[in-house]
């Protein structure tokens, strides 16, 4: 598996390209803008896009979705909860697609891309439909879990109790060696280190 990070959009969200080396297929997670940079990275690693996945519906993670799909194809997928907020015009959500996402992601669902299996883990709290993606020994947590921090909960749909529950019950129960790739910041971490060092969730 190849993982390539592109810092995208005016808010510097992490966009991840995840490629199966056997088939050459892969997914793009959270293209928040700067699609030209994402396209250059796709060409560099020679990846065919099967899915464009979103950890949640905030504008800093979704802005480049439609433009990227027009350029390279792939199905746009997000939780139904956050897709509804985008479609309703909720503040700081979207844009995505005028008719909604191509498909909705549900907790426990598994997407197969070449030899990769992408497990969808519902981690609400930052948004109602927050989703993390586990691929092998790594997990992409969007704005739920950061290096020594967690996502904010003061925006529409945020819930501080729920984000703590998501982290404790859905992320901290993963194998401790699991590598965490967050939605912002350049430092990956591990579940073990966050359980031990993250003062926001005990």
User: pLDDT of 13-43, one tens digit each?
Assistant: 999 999 999 999 999 999 999 999 999 999 9
pLDDT at 199: 95
pLDDT at 97: 82
- pTM given for the model: 0.96
Domains of the chain from N-terminus onward: 2-197 (3.60.15.10)
- Tokens 């984000």 belong to 163
Report pLDDT digits (tens) over 105-116.
Answer: 999 999 999 999
Write out the DSSP string of 23-80: T-EEEEE---S-HHHHHHHHHHHT-EEEEEE-SS-BHHHHTTHHHHHHHH--EEEEEH
Burial letters 10-37, b for 16+ CB under 10 A, else e: eeebbbbbbbbeeeebbbbbbbbbbbeb
Contact call for residues 19 and 112 (beta carbons, < 8 A): no
The parts of the chain modelled with pLDDT lower than 70 are none
pLDDT at 167: 98
pLDDT at 2: 97
């Amino acid at each position: 598996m190849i993982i390539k990070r592109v810092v995208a959009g005016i808010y510097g969200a992490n966009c991840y390209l995840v490629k199966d080396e056997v088939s050459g297929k892969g997914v793009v997670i959270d293209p928040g803008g700067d699609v030209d940079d994402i396209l250059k990275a796709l060409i560099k690693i020679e990846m065919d896009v099967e899915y464009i996945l979103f950890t949640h519906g905030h504008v800093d993670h979704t802005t480049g979705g439609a433009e990227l799909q027009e350029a390279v194809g792939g199905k746009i997928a997000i939780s139904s909860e956050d897709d509804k907020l985008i479609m309703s015009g909720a503040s700081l959500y979207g844009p995505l697609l005028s008719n909604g996402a191509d498909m909705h992601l549900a907790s426990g669902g598994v997407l197969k891309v070449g030899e990769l299996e992408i497990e969808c883990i519902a981690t609400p709290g930052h948004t109602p439909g927050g989703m993390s993606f586990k691929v092998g020994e790594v997990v992409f947590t969007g704005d739920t879990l950061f290096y020594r921090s967690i996502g904010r909960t003061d925006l529409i749909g945020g819930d501080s109790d729920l984000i703590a529950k998501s982290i404790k019950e859905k992320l901290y129960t993963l194998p401790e060696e699991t590598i965490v790739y967050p939605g912002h910041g350049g430092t990956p971490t591990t579940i073990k280190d966050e359980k031990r060092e993250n003062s926001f969730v005990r």
